[in-house]
Chains A and B, each alone.
Chain A
Amino acid sequence: MAPAHRILVPFELPDPDPLAPVLVETLTPMAVVVLGHYGLPEQTPPSAARDQFEADAQAELDELARPFEAAGVPVTTRLVFGKTRAKTIDRVAVDEDCDVILTPGQAASIDRLFVPLRGEANFDRILSFVAELLTETDATVTLFHAGEDAEDDGPTGEQLLADATDRLVEMGLDPDRISRELSPDRDAGRSIVELGEAFDLLVLGETEPSLRDRIFGTVPAQVTTDTTDPAFVVRNTEES
């Protein structure tokens, strides 16, 4: 049985954009940590800002957590006053044992999921999370892989997608809801963004940054900046 998933949902305070209600519904079977990041300029010591704004910020954060509580989702809140949002998100995800981080986006409905796969370390975790997401909705999922040939001794693109489909079916998913897409183009980032346009929600695996990634940004980072869809990034918890 796959372990329960904990989702980190970050918000930028003050005056945060609330989460689309349909996203709240999809997260119902899981636990959620709502993170309020209160961004500060470098002139301001975080403790001074905390003294002055904490009460209001916490109230806003509680307001953001309410829809989850109403839907019966176990929710924790964390309020951080700081200057680097990305680092805070990573740090709190580790602290709170969150294996998935949500990049909120616009979503009117969740009908079509897009899941790029690489055969990486958190392959199983990504699939178990996708299965959980799909139990709450009638959505369909498209599994995607970039590159037809086998990498090193691994499976070919076809084999990988077939394997993923089988696992989802094993977890109880109707095979009619699963489709596959294989792209010969190995530039994963661009393909994902282009194809992802047609979908409502993305689920990506976190990648260990290569040197190229450190210069140009990891694939998940590129994708989440370029797309308006909400995206779930599944962390490499085995690495932390």
Chain B
Amino acid sequence: MTGDLERDLGLYATVTISMGAMIGSGIFVLPALGLAKAGPAVILAYVLAGLVVLPAALSKAEMATAMPESGGTYIYIDRALGPLAGTVAGIGAWFSLVFKSSFALVGLGAYLLLLVPLSDGLVKIVALGLAGAIVVLNVVGTEQSGKAQSVIVTAVVLALAAYVLNAGVAVDTARFQPFAEKGASGVVTAAAFVFVSYAGVTKVASVAEEVEDPGRNLPRGILISMGVMMVVYALVVAAVVGLNDADVLTTSGPGGGPSLTPMADGAGGLFGGVGVVVVAVVAVLALTSMANAGVLASSRFPLAMSRDSLAPVALSRVSVRFKTPRNAIVATGSVLLALIAFVPVVELAKLASAFQILVFSIVNVALVVFRASGVESYQPTYRAPGYPYVQVAGVVGGLALLTQMGTFPILGAVGITVGGIAWYLVYGRPRTDRKGALAVLLVRRRGDEPTTSD
């Protein structure tokens, strides 16, 4: 009976799902923000962010082969560290994806307004409208669009390649000097801000139960997509830096802040003069796909938590009419709309990254606990290399980035942690006495009889 779950995502589909979740706001919206913090060295910031994500991606790949269930990040942390950490991580991961989708939608609004000239003040309204449409679409339910997703991702990657090649002949190399004008700390801060560009790699783990031959395709899918994205980001951001005047780029956005459409801004001379339109169309495509995937993926966290009694039961109910987890999607959508309406877009981006850094650091801890506890039910078919140094590097790197982010994001991360703990104490604790592998580890350390955690 357990064999009767469909596994129909192959390696290519897995890679494109992962890349499709990553290509979006990270490249179309954030470069100007990063440029403001790091100068032309923002290129390094993107690579640095990828390197800090890598340990968590590898840890996830391993845990995904041991626990290919939907709701990935949350599941791993919950099973490793217990429901308290699980609650914090689940809420953190959920919020991170919702924040990411929200600023993707605002960016989408900004690019749309390049195509349809209306007042700039309408960006938020457009974003809200699009958000509403995406939520409704997800509630009603869509057929598996794996093929459409593959097509869109391939098309966007090709378009980006064309952009880079075309830009290569049009850049003004003087713009790359002085390269590291804001110093190393600027690069680290920018890396923290653009961290969320790689958050999409989460998506693979959250659909893990549908991946064919998961022991091979999960780690490969994650690593291939990360590798490709790091190269793509570095090249594209280099092009953006080379094509644009930094002063303009960092002040032409809403409220005199960084531009939300950095890729289109310098593209006027590309593609035979229609560069702005081409880039805007590609951006709209990529951002819509990302926002849609973001809503779908983030809805799975409240669903997974609800099935573990850490969130209200209603959130795991599948609607009889639509066959979708309507309540989880509506809850996610409500937060999404509220964020777009009330939070400034730059803060949305920073908080998305801050929460993601927090969650990824905990992911690394979770892997260490699983390995150290020796729990029998933990049987990954892929083992992440470099244990435990890679994981430690991931945690240290993540915390280092986090501390460079500034007061508001740090407060946000602390707030989520405290809020998560409080929610667990109020709701989860009375309803479940599951223990994670951590409990097994601690018990053994105290010299008692080791037990399995289930």
Identify which of B144, B316, B329 contacts A83 (C-beta below 8 A): B144
Contacts of A80 in B (CB 8 A): 4-6
B324 touches A47 (CB 8 A): no
Residue in A41, A51, A78, A88 whose CB lies within 8 Å of B324: A41
Q: Which 4 A-B pairs have the closest CB atoms?
A: A82-B6, A41-B141, A45-B70, A43-B324
B interface majority secondary structure: loop
Main SS class of interface, A: mixed
> Contacts A48-B303, A49-B318, A53-B318 hold; do A43 and B6 have CB atoms under 8 A apart?
no
Q: Do the beta carbons of B4 and A81 come within 8 Å of each other? A: yes
Q: Which residues of B contact A50 (CB under 8 A)?
A: 5
Residue in contact with B138 in the complex, picked from A39, A43, A51, A95, CB distance below 8 Å: A43
Docked CA distance A88–B324 (Å): 20
**Does the CB pair A46–B6 fall under 8 Å?**
yes
**What is the distance, in angstroms, from B322's C-beta to the closest C-beta of chain A?**
7
> Is A79 interfacial (CB 8 A cutoff)?
yes
Interface residues on B, range: 20 to 34
Quick one: which of B311-349 are within 8 Å of A by CB? 316-318, 322-325, 329
Q: Do the beta carbons of A44 and B5 come within 8 Å of each other? A: no
User: A44–B142 contact, CB under 8 A?
Assistant: no
Segment 68-83 of B: residues with Cβ below 8 Å from A: 69-71
From B149, which residue of chain A is reached at the shortest CB distance?
A: A42
CA distance A227 to B8 in the complex (A): 28
Q: Are B6 and A84 in contact, with the CB atoms below 8 A?
A: yes
A82–B209 alpha-carbon span in the complex (Å):
11
- Whether, in the assembled complex, B102 has its beta carbon less than 8 Å from a beta carbon of chain A, the answer is no
The answer to whether A81 touches B316, judged by C-beta atoms less than 8 angstroms apart, is no
CA A78 to CA B300, docked complex, whole Å:
27
A residues whose Cβ falls under 8 Å from a Cβ of B: 39-53, 78-84, 87-88, 95
Cβ contact within 8 Å between B323 and A40: yes
The answer to whether A46 and B5 touch (CB under 8 A), given A41-B323, A51-B307, A52-B318, is yes
B343 vs chain A, min Cβ distance (A): 26
Complex CA gap A41/B299 in Å reads: 14
Question: Which among B4, B138, B323 has the greatest number of chain A C-beta atoms within 10 A?
Answer: B4
Contact A43 B299 (CB under 8 A): yes
Q: Does A83 lie within 8 Å of B8, measured CB to CB?
A: yes
How far is A84 from B146 in the complex, measured between Cα atoms in Å? Answer: 11
Q: What is the 8 Å Cβ interface bit string for chain B, positions 102-115, against chain A (1 contact, 0 not)?
A: 00000000000000
CB distance from A34 to the nearest CB of B (A): 13
Select A42's contact among B143, B209, B307, B318, beta carbons within 8 Å: B143
CA of A40 to CA of B8, assembled, Å: 13
CA distance A92 to B8 in the complex (A): 13
Docked pose: A185 CA to B210 CA in angstroms = 44
Asked if B145 and A44 sit within 8 Å, CB to CB, the answer is no
The reply on B296 being an interface residue by CB < 8 A is yes
Could you tell me if A81 and B5 are in contact, using CB atoms closer than 8 angstroms? yes
- B8 partner residues in chain A, CB cutoff 8 A: 82-84, 87
30 contacts between A and B (CB under 8 A): A39-B323, A40-B323, A41-B322, A42-B141, A42-B143, A42-B146, A43-B296, A43-B324, A43-B325, A43-B329, A44-B324, A44-B325, A45-B300, A46-B210, A47-B69, A47-B209, A48-B325, A49-B318, A52-B317, A78-B4, A79-B1, A79-B4, A80-B4, A82-B4, A82-B5, A82-B6, A83-B144, A84-B6, A88-B6, A95-B3
Most buried by B among A45, A47, A53, A78: A45
- Given A46-B210, A82-B6, also A41-B70 (CB < 8 A): no
The distance from the CB of A13 to the nearest CB of chain B, in whole angstroms, is 11
* A41-B141, A45-B71 given; 11 more Cβ-contact pairs under 8 Å: A41-B143, A42-B144, A42-B146, A43-B138, A43-B296, A43-B324, A44-B318, A44-B323, A45-B209, A46-B5, A82-B5
Alpha-carbon gap, A91 to B344, bound state (A): 50
> Contacts A49-B318, A81-B4, A87-B8: A43 and B141 contacting too (C-beta < 8 A)?
yes
